[in-house]
Structure 1
Amino acid sequence: MTSTKDDEDFLRLDRQICFSLNAASRAFGGVYRTLLKDLNLTYPQYLVMLALWEAPKDEGLAVKRLGERLRLDSGTLSPLLKRLEANGLVRRERSARDERSVTVTLTDAGAELKKAAAEVPRRIGKATGFELSEIEDLRERLNRLTEALDRSALS
């Protein structure tokens, strides 16, 4: 099989969606690292806190459910939770109904941190230079892309 000019152009690094997504992700990581420094959180810890801030305060989330929401396996999630617990932001407790299940709840300090974190999305939006409608459209497209890739991986 011979290679055509179109094949060569298609294989250029700057034409790869995976490269563009990875580059954007790394750039976001740098901005988040700067913004989250004042909150004493890493980006993965911030994601955990976002999920917990959405959960009913007194109920928290089961670790399994938290991992599903964040698309993280327990090997990645457990050390994050241990660090957040050591920093006094969350509490991990075995379920009284099922000892195999561990529930994560916010401490008062973890709940209070939400106020300080409220500025992060605004500053991220400003850093992109995008209008809110553009950000929402991009997020929707990325969600559709993720769903399509998940379905494709299952085939």
Structure 2
Amino acid sequence: MGSKGDFSLKVRNKEVVAAMLPMQGHFLPLSNLDLLLPPNDVGVFFCYKKPIAREGDSSLTLKFLSMVSVLKKALAQTLVSYYAFAGEMVQNTAGEPELLCNNRGVDFFEAFADVELRDLNLYNPDDSVQGKLVPKKEQGVLCVQVTRLFPSCVSL
């Protein structure tokens, strides 16, 4: 199961995480190099060892939710310094893209997948990771998904 991306993923929660501190909205023009190159989304997939728990231990879900809460809080703190990631791309009056730093926030997905890490085809991530474990960015500059893989680990 999962070797060709044939596992199911259920998004349990979706919210927007903004910077902890308010900020004054402003525009950042893109560099000439940014304007020449085609837009590129980068997907990153990390795995972390499952917290130690006994078989049938219901506290494992609580540990996962606690980890999600810590990640959201850390993201909100990080966006204070890296405020551009909490913005969105817009077009200026000349029709060129520029970054609106408005603290729109980062889309944050919490999900569960019925696949073990060993069953993912990481040699061809387009089949098993892209679009499921690494979400497609809908709005904003950045999106994050935390997924609990059953029963083996947590991915970010």
> TM-score of the superposition, structure 1-length normalised?
0.22
Q: Computing the radius of gyration over CA atoms, which structure comes out larger, 1 or 2?
A: 1
Q: TM-score, normalised by structure 2?
A: 0.21
Q: Which is richer in helix?
A: 1
